[in-house]
Amino acid sequence: MHLAQDFQELFSVASLISLLTLSVLEIVLGIDNIIFISIVSGKLPRATQGRARTIGLMLALIMRVILLFCITWIAGLKDPLLLIVNFGVTGRDIILFVGGVFLLYKTTIELRNKIEGFDETEMKVKKISFNAIVLQIVLIDIIFSFDSILTAVSLVSNLLIMILAVIIAMIIMISFSGRVSDFINDNPTIKILALSFLLMIGGILILDSFHQEINKQFVYVAIAFSLFVEMMNITMRKKEAKRNKNNKTN
127-155 residue pLDDT tens:
567 888 888 888 887 777 776 676 666 66
Buried b (16+ CB within 10 A) or exposed e, 112-127: eeeeeeeeeeebeeee
Higher model confidence: residue 127 or residue 60? 60
* Alpha helices by DSSP H, 43-89: 46-68, 71-76
pLDDT at position 35: 80
Is pLDDT at 2 greater than 80 in this prediction? no
Quote the mean pLDDT of the chain: 77
pLDDT, tens digit, 9 for 90 and up, residues 70-83: 766 666 667 787 77
Is pLDDT at 182 greater than 70 in this prediction? yes
Compute the average pLDDT of residues 222-226: 79
Are residues 60 and 141 in contact, defined by beta-carbon separation less than 8 angstroms?
yes
Amino acid making up residue 232: M
Compute the average pLDDT of residues 91-117: 81
Confidence of residue 123 (pLDDT cuts 50, 70, 90): very low
% of residues, the chain, pLDDT over 70: 80
pLDDT at position 140: 80
Is pLDDT at 1 greater than 50 in this prediction? no
Confidence of residue 122 (pLDDT cuts 50, 70, 90): very low
Tell me the C-alpha distance between 108 and 116, whole Å: 12
Is pLDDT at 67 greater than 60 in this prediction? yes
